[in-house]
Structure 1
């Protein structure tokens, strides 16, 4: 899961334009969060794996999509907090 999370985090950072000053740990965390977001979206959209529940990890494609969503949310939160200072 760590390797998939790193790959998803790196791809999400490459796909979404702009600078993201985060290191390897931040990229890994982005990928892990993205994997859970992708798993949740897969649960909602496809209704599979009801036994596993909504909090589950996803594959590489779901992780990348989830990481892109997480990165966009992170930028919105970070951007709004800096604008108030």
Structure 2
């Protein structure tokens, strides 16, 4: 995937993760995109370790892995911020 695809996927994943796990995290749009991109990397890495494959493009499996990774990062971010 190209860098523009990662940014678009990160935006979608970040928004979905914030929607699933709302809270007073702040950060705005840029933080949401960064969270989504990092979540895609984390989800893809953990998915490959577990044997599910990685984040390979805009498909349902990649989206689920990326959202799970973003949710994990959002959870850790909220715990570290306290």
Q: TM-score, normalised by structure 1?
A: 0.76
Number of equivalent positions: 71
The 3-state SS of whatever aligns with 2:25 is coil
Q: Paired residue for 2:43, among 29, 38, 46?
A: 38
Measured against aligned partners, the alpha-carbon deviations of 1:35-84 in whole angstroms (never above 9, x if no partner) come to 01101111110075xxxxxxxx62211111100000000011111xxxxx
Measured against aligned partners, the alpha-carbon deviations of 1:9-39 in whole angstroms (never above 9, x if no partner) come to 0110111132221111100100011001101
Instruction: Give the structure 2 partner of residue 62 of structure 1.
Output: 65
Cα distance in 1, alignment partners of residues 22 and 30 from structure 2: 20
Cα distance in 1, alignment partners of residues 45 and 30 from structure 2: 23
Q: Which has the larger radius of gyration?
A: 1
Q: Does the CA-based 8 Å contact 1:5-1:35 persist in structure 2?
A: yes
Unaligned runs of 5+ in 2: 1-5, 56-61
Q: Does the CA-based 8 Å contact 1:5-1:29 persist in structure 2?
A: yes
Q: TM-score, normalised by structure 2?
A: 0.78
Structure 1's consecutive aligned runs of 4 or more residues displaced over 4 angstroms after TM superposition are none
